[in-house]
Amino acid sequence: MKYLGIEPKRPKVGVFDFTGCEGCELQLANKEETVPAFLQAIEVVDFREISSTSSDDYEVALIEGAITRDDEIRRLKEIRKHAKLLVALGSCACFGGVNRLKNGYDLDAVNQEVYGTEPKETLPTQAVKEVVSVDLEIPGCPVDKAEVERIVQHLIWDVPYQFPAYPVCFECKQRYTTCVFELGQLCLGPIARGGCHAPCPAGGSGCWGCRGPAADPNLEEFLQIAKDRGFKKREIKERLSFYGGFEDMP
Protein backbone atom coordinates (compact mmCIF):
# COMPACT_ATOMS: atom_id res chain seq x y z
CA MET A 1 0.00 0.00 0.00
CA LYS A 2 1.58 3.26 -1.17
CA TYR A 3 0.92 6.81 -0.03
CA LEU A 4 1.84 9.56 -2.54
CA GLY A 5 3.77 6.92 -4.44
CA ILE A 6 5.89 6.03 -1.42
CA GLU A 7 5.93 2.59 0.16
CA PRO A 8 5.61 3.16 3.92
CA LYS A 9 7.77 1.18 6.29
CA ARG A 10 5.80 -1.52 8.07
CA PRO A 11 7.27 -2.10 11.53
CA LYS A 12 7.70 -5.71 12.59
CA VAL A 13 5.52 -6.37 15.61
CA GLY A 14 5.46 -9.18 18.16
CA VAL A 15 2.53 -9.65 20.55
CA PHE A 16 3.28 -11.57 23.75
CA ASP A 17 1.05 -12.73 26.60
CA PHE A 18 1.92 -13.25 30.23
CA THR A 19 -0.42 -13.69 33.23
CA GLY A 20 -3.84 -12.51 32.12
CA CYS A 21 -7.01 -13.47 30.29
CA GLU A 22 -5.66 -12.52 26.81
CA GLY A 23 -8.70 -10.30 26.28
CA CYS A 24 -6.55 -7.38 25.13
CA GLU A 25 -4.99 -9.57 22.43
CA LEU A 26 -8.44 -10.64 21.28
CA GLN A 27 -9.34 -6.97 20.88
CA LEU A 28 -6.64 -6.69 18.22
CA ALA A 29 -8.06 -9.64 16.28
CA ASN A 30 -11.82 -9.44 16.69
CA LYS A 31 -12.66 -6.15 14.98
CA GLU A 32 -13.08 -7.69 11.57
CA GLU A 33 -13.92 -4.52 9.65
CA THR A 34 -10.51 -2.96 10.38
CA VAL A 35 -8.24 -6.02 10.67
CA PRO A 36 -7.11 -5.95 6.98
CA ALA A 37 -6.10 -2.28 7.15
CA PHE A 38 -4.48 -2.80 10.55
CA LEU A 39 -2.39 -5.69 9.24
CA GLN A 40 -1.40 -3.67 6.16
CA ALA A 41 0.12 -1.05 8.46
CA ILE A 42 2.25 -3.48 10.43
CA GLU A 43 4.01 -6.80 9.88
CA VAL A 44 3.07 -9.29 12.59
CA VAL A 45 5.96 -11.70 13.14
CA ASP A 46 4.86 -13.24 16.46
CA PHE A 47 1.28 -13.37 17.75
CA ARG A 48 0.16 -16.70 19.20
CA GLU A 49 -3.54 -15.78 19.11
CA ILE A 50 -3.63 -15.56 15.32
CA SER A 51 -0.58 -17.35 13.93
CA SER A 52 1.83 -20.20 14.60
CA THR A 53 4.68 -18.05 13.26
CA SER A 54 7.31 -17.16 15.85
CA SER A 55 10.30 -14.86 15.40
CA ASP A 56 12.76 -12.78 17.40
CA ASP A 57 13.01 -10.31 14.51
CA TYR A 58 10.64 -7.57 15.70
CA GLU A 59 10.94 -3.85 16.37
CA VAL A 60 7.82 -3.35 18.47
CA ALA A 61 6.75 -5.69 21.28
CA LEU A 62 3.21 -5.50 22.64
CA ILE A 63 3.06 -7.06 26.10
CA GLU A 64 -0.24 -8.27 27.55
CA GLY A 65 -0.59 -9.55 31.10
CA ALA A 66 1.10 -9.11 34.45
CA ILE A 67 4.36 -10.70 35.62
CA THR A 68 3.93 -13.35 38.32
CA ARG A 69 6.72 -15.95 37.96
CA ASP A 70 10.50 -16.12 37.59
CA ASP A 71 10.26 -17.62 34.10
CA GLU A 72 8.07 -14.69 33.03
CA ILE A 73 10.68 -12.24 34.31
CA ARG A 74 13.38 -13.97 32.27
CA ARG A 75 11.20 -14.13 29.16
CA LEU A 76 10.20 -10.46 29.44
CA LYS A 77 13.81 -9.34 29.78
CA GLU A 78 14.70 -11.33 26.67
CA ILE A 79 11.86 -9.68 24.72
CA ARG A 80 13.06 -6.27 25.90
CA LYS A 81 16.51 -6.99 24.43
CA HIS A 82 15.02 -7.50 20.96
CA ALA A 83 12.44 -4.69 20.96
CA LYS A 84 13.23 -1.12 20.00
CA LEU A 85 9.83 -0.13 21.38
CA LEU A 86 8.06 -2.02 24.16
CA VAL A 87 4.38 -1.33 24.79
CA ALA A 88 2.41 -2.42 27.88
CA LEU A 89 -1.01 -3.43 26.57
CA GLY A 90 -3.94 -3.33 29.00
CA SER A 91 -4.45 -2.89 32.73
CA CYS A 92 -2.62 -6.08 33.74
CA ALA A 93 0.53 -5.03 31.89
CA CYS A 94 0.26 -1.37 32.94
CA PHE A 95 -0.64 -1.78 36.63
CA GLY A 96 -0.74 -5.49 37.48
CA GLY A 97 -4.52 -5.52 37.00
CA VAL A 98 -6.85 -7.81 38.92
CA ASN A 99 -3.93 -10.19 39.44
CA ARG A 100 -2.37 -7.62 41.78
CA LEU A 101 -5.08 -8.30 44.37
CA LYS A 102 -3.22 -11.44 45.41
CA ASN A 103 -0.37 -9.28 46.76
CA GLY A 104 -2.51 -8.57 49.81
CA TYR A 105 -2.33 -12.21 50.91
CA ASP A 106 0.31 -14.56 52.29
CA LEU A 107 1.14 -16.31 49.01
CA ASP A 108 2.82 -19.28 50.64
CA ALA A 109 -0.19 -19.95 52.87
CA VAL A 110 -2.68 -19.52 50.03
CA ASN A 111 -0.61 -21.73 47.73
CA GLN A 112 -0.61 -24.50 50.32
CA GLU A 113 -4.33 -24.06 51.00
CA VAL A 114 -5.20 -24.40 47.30
CA TYR A 115 -2.60 -26.86 46.01
CA GLY A 116 -1.63 -28.75 49.15
CA THR A 117 1.50 -30.87 48.65
CA GLU A 118 1.92 -29.73 45.02
CA PRO A 119 2.29 -25.93 45.28
CA LYS A 120 2.65 -23.87 42.12
CA GLU A 121 5.41 -21.37 41.47
CA THR A 122 4.21 -17.84 42.09
CA LEU A 123 5.54 -14.40 42.95
CA PRO A 124 3.93 -11.12 43.95
CA THR A 125 2.31 -9.62 40.86
CA GLN A 126 4.26 -6.91 39.06
CA ALA A 127 3.42 -4.55 36.24
CA VAL A 128 5.67 -4.76 33.17
CA LYS A 129 7.39 -1.44 34.04
CA GLU A 130 8.47 -2.89 37.39
CA VAL A 131 10.60 -5.46 35.56
CA VAL A 132 11.82 -3.71 32.39
CA SER A 133 11.68 -0.24 30.88
CA VAL A 134 8.42 0.53 29.05
CA ASP A 135 8.18 3.00 26.19
CA LEU A 136 4.40 3.30 26.03
CA GLU A 137 1.42 2.19 28.10
CA ILE A 138 -2.07 1.59 26.69
CA PRO A 139 -4.41 1.02 29.65
CA GLY A 140 -7.88 -0.53 29.72
CA CYS A 141 -9.59 -3.81 30.53
CA PRO A 142 -9.64 -4.67 27.76
CA VAL A 143 -7.85 -2.06 25.64
CA ASP A 144 -9.90 -0.12 23.13
CA LYS A 145 -9.12 -1.42 19.62
CA ALA A 146 -9.76 1.99 18.03
CA GLU A 147 -7.32 3.62 20.45
CA VAL A 148 -4.64 1.03 19.64
CA GLU A 149 -5.17 1.68 15.93
CA ARG A 150 -4.81 5.46 16.42
CA ILE A 151 -1.59 4.91 18.37
CA VAL A 152 -0.23 2.69 15.58
CA GLN A 153 -1.02 5.48 13.09
CA HIS A 154 0.80 7.91 15.37
CA LEU A 155 3.88 5.69 15.61
CA ILE A 156 4.07 4.88 11.89
CA TRP A 157 2.85 8.04 10.14
CA ASP A 158 3.19 10.56 12.96
CA VAL A 159 -0.56 11.19 12.98
CA PRO A 160 -1.15 13.43 16.04
CA TYR A 161 -2.43 11.59 19.08
CA GLN A 162 -2.57 12.37 22.77
CA PHE A 163 -3.84 10.19 25.60
CA PRO A 164 -6.91 11.69 27.27
CA ALA A 165 -6.05 13.46 30.52
CA TYR A 166 -9.65 14.14 31.53
CA PRO A 167 -11.67 11.87 33.87
CA VAL A 168 -14.44 9.46 32.94
CA CYS A 169 -17.00 11.94 34.29
CA PHE A 170 -16.30 14.16 31.28
CA GLU A 171 -17.40 11.40 28.92
CA CYS A 172 -20.49 10.65 30.99
CA LYS A 173 -21.51 14.29 30.56
CA GLN A 174 -20.96 13.99 26.81
CA ARG A 175 -23.24 10.95 26.71
CA TYR A 176 -25.87 12.53 28.98
CA THR A 177 -25.41 9.59 31.31
CA THR A 178 -27.09 9.83 34.70
CA CYS A 179 -24.40 9.98 37.40
CA VAL A 180 -24.32 6.58 39.08
CA PHE A 181 -23.53 8.30 42.39
CA GLU A 182 -27.08 9.59 42.13
CA LEU A 183 -28.19 5.97 41.72
CA GLY A 184 -26.49 4.99 44.97
CA GLN A 185 -23.40 3.36 43.43
CA LEU A 186 -19.73 3.98 44.08
CA CYS A 187 -17.87 5.23 40.98
CA LEU A 188 -14.25 6.19 40.28
CA GLY A 189 -15.35 8.38 37.37
CA PRO A 190 -14.21 11.65 39.00
CA ILE A 191 -10.59 10.47 39.30
CA ALA A 192 -10.19 7.72 36.65
CA ARG A 193 -8.69 8.38 33.21
CA GLY A 194 -11.21 8.76 30.41
CA GLY A 195 -10.86 7.60 26.83
CA CYS A 196 -13.04 4.52 27.20
CA HIS A 197 -16.28 6.38 26.30
CA ALA A 198 -17.64 5.51 29.76
CA PRO A 199 -19.49 2.26 28.89
CA CYS A 200 -19.77 1.10 32.52
CA PRO A 201 -21.67 4.12 33.88
CA ALA A 202 -23.77 4.17 30.69
CA GLY A 203 -24.75 0.59 31.54
CA GLY A 204 -25.64 1.53 35.10
CA SER A 205 -22.44 0.33 36.79
CA GLY A 206 -19.88 2.53 38.53
CA CYS A 207 -16.39 2.93 37.07
CA TRP A 208 -13.70 0.63 38.49
CA GLY A 209 -10.74 2.63 37.17
CA CYS A 210 -9.30 0.12 34.70
CA ARG A 211 -7.46 2.94 32.87
CA GLY A 212 -5.78 4.23 36.00
CA PRO A 213 -5.90 7.75 37.39
CA ALA A 214 -6.69 10.83 35.33
CA ALA A 215 -4.19 13.67 35.22
CA ASP A 216 -3.90 15.40 38.62
CA PRO A 217 -6.84 13.58 40.24
CA ASN A 218 -8.25 15.21 43.36
CA LEU A 219 -8.26 12.07 45.49
CA GLU A 220 -8.92 13.94 48.72
CA GLU A 221 -12.10 15.52 47.36
CA PHE A 222 -13.21 12.19 45.87
CA LEU A 223 -12.79 10.42 49.20
CA GLN A 224 -14.84 13.09 50.90
CA ILE A 225 -17.61 12.80 48.30
CA ALA A 226 -17.68 9.01 48.66
CA LYS A 227 -17.76 9.31 52.45
CA ASP A 228 -20.59 11.87 52.30
CA ARG A 229 -22.53 9.44 50.08
CA GLY A 230 -22.31 6.80 52.78
CA PHE A 231 -19.63 4.51 51.33
CA LYS A 232 -17.38 2.80 53.85
CA LYS A 233 -13.59 3.12 53.87
CA ARG A 234 -13.12 -0.57 53.13
CA GLU A 235 -15.45 -0.45 50.11
CA ILE A 236 -13.64 2.57 48.70
CA LYS A 237 -10.24 0.94 49.24
CA GLU A 238 -11.35 -2.24 47.50
CA ARG A 239 -12.55 -0.26 44.49
CA LEU A 240 -9.32 1.75 44.26
CA SER A 241 -7.13 -1.36 44.51
CA PHE A 242 -9.07 -3.54 42.05
CA TYR A 243 -6.91 -2.89 38.97
CA GLY A 244 -3.78 -1.64 40.74
CA GLY A 245 -3.76 1.71 38.96
CA PHE A 246 -4.26 3.75 42.11
CA GLU A 247 -1.80 1.85 44.27
CA ASP A 248 0.85 4.60 44.23
CA MET A 249 -1.59 7.35 45.17
CA PRO A 250 -1.37 8.61 48.80
Spatial distance between the Cα atoms of 57 and 74, rounded to a whole number of angstroms: 18
- Counting the structural domains of the chain, the total is 2
Quick one: pLDDT at residue 237? 94
Q: Please name which of 51, 40, 50 lies closest in space to residue 149, comparing C-alpha atoms.
A: 40
27 inside domain: yes
How far, rounded to the nearest angstrom, does the alpha carbon of residue 64 sit from its chain's CA centroid?
8
148 and 210, same domain (yes or no): no
Mean pLDDT for the chain overall: 92
60 and 19, same domain (yes or no): yes
163 inside domain: no
209 inside domain: yes
Q: Write out pLDDT tens, residues 141-181.
A: 999 988 998 888 888 777 888 889 999 999 999 999 999 99
pTM value is 0.90
Model confidence at 10: pLDDT above 90? no
Q: Could you tell me the pLDDT band of residue 6, with boundaries at 50, 70 and 90?
A: low
33 and 96, same domain (yes or no): yes
65 and 116, same domain (yes or no): yes
Neighbouring residues of 106: CB distance < 8 A, sequence distance ≥ 6: none
Domain holding 177, by residue range, is 168-241
